[in-house]
Amino acid sequence: MVGVSETTRIGLVTGAGSPGRTDERFGIHATDLGVCWESGDGRVLVAFGDTYGEGWGGSGPGPAQADWRRNVLACSTDRDLATGLRLDGVVARADGSAAQVLPSGRGREITTIPNSGIAVAGTQYLHYMSVRQWIRPGVWRTNHAGIAVSHDGGNTWSAPRGARWPNRWGGHRFQLGAFALADDHLYLLGTTNGRYGDAYLARADPTALPATRAFRYWTGSGWSTRWHAAAPVAAGPVGEMSLGFHRTLGRWLLMHLDETRRGIVLRSAARLTGPWTSGEVVVSGDEYPAVYGGYLHPWSLDGPDLYYLVSQWGPYNVYLTRSRLVLE
């Protein structure tokens, strides 16, 4: 079992006062999430959700006229995480500010939110959800989830229709997700739209990506072609999640928001199919109100200090956080 002896907030990743001065350099005054993955070319790519520029009000998402971009993508080569995380650059518009990378806003779509990214054989894949309606905190409707693809290091993206999991009737088990590579497969840990579902497991042959029909779903005893046959591998409530294999400890780590425990939880397992520990709260909403997210930095998955990105609604920005791991 993996435990945590202490947790420290290192500092801002985005907004005024961040090491990368994202407000001045990239027009990122306020944003959330910070989905991290290795790009395969010496960088870490970092995807953010709804992003705002000048005119942001200072609490939660800003008005649409405040240069609203529904998602943006940055990169970093910073390995000295003890001093903070500096973003080196972004997929940019002509003026150098961060561009929206995934199209969004057509029809009954409010926004398009990134959930997880991964690089496979030089191609970038980004799991995202198309949000149809925000209902109340922790509860929303999605049109679908999907996999977007980039063949040029994240500069341009496509979102093929054949790479979607429709959610017209609700309840689809892979609307939020976290990618991982293991034993020659791409795995996807998923949950329903919102923050109250269990977690389920799927996998695909990477050569068949991004087609969702290539995925098979863990039933508890085998793999099925039917997503609704998937059995829970980790009990909820599971919100936004991140997945990684800690090379020194030899265990999988799962980080996610737990609304019931009011914080970011760290869990572990020897196998992706479980059993997963119940975990412990590593960032409490009592100390940092309205905290959410929790995305592992891939360059910290081999030592005692685990770094990850969390969001806080009030400031509506992203913070680098460190937890000291212990094997219990």
Q: Which two tokens stand for residue 4?
A: 């945590």
- Across the beta sheet with 251-258, what order do the strands follow? 241-246, 251-258, 263-269, 280-284
71-91 pLDDT, tens digit per residue, is: 999 999 999 999 999 999 999
What are φ and ψ of residue 28, in 5° steps? -100, 90
Asked whether residue 298 carries a pLDDT value surpassing 80, the answer given is yes
Which of 53-67, 134-148, 237-251 is least confident? 53-67
Q: What is the pLDDT of residue 63?
A: 83
Burial pattern 81-94, b for ≥16 Cβ within 10 A else e, equals: beebbbbebbbbee
Q: What is the rounded distance in angstroms from the CA atom of residue 219 to the CA atom of residue 227?
A: 9
Whether the model pTM is above 0.95: yes
Q: What is the pLDDT of residue 1?
A: 80
- Beta bridge partners of residue 6, listed in sequence order: 324
Q: What is the pLDDT of residue 3?
A: 87
The model's confidence at residue 173, banded by pLDDT at 50, 70 and 90, is very high
Q: What is the pLDDT of residue 327?
A: 77
263-290 pLDDT, tens digit per residue, is: 999 999 999 999 999 999 999 999 999 9
Rounded average pLDDT over 100-110:
92
Q: What is the pLDDT of residue 105?
A: 83
The model's confidence at residue 58, banded by pLDDT at 50, 70 and 90, is confident
The model's confidence at residue 147, banded by pLDDT at 50, 70 and 90, is very high
Rounded average pLDDT over 248-252:
96
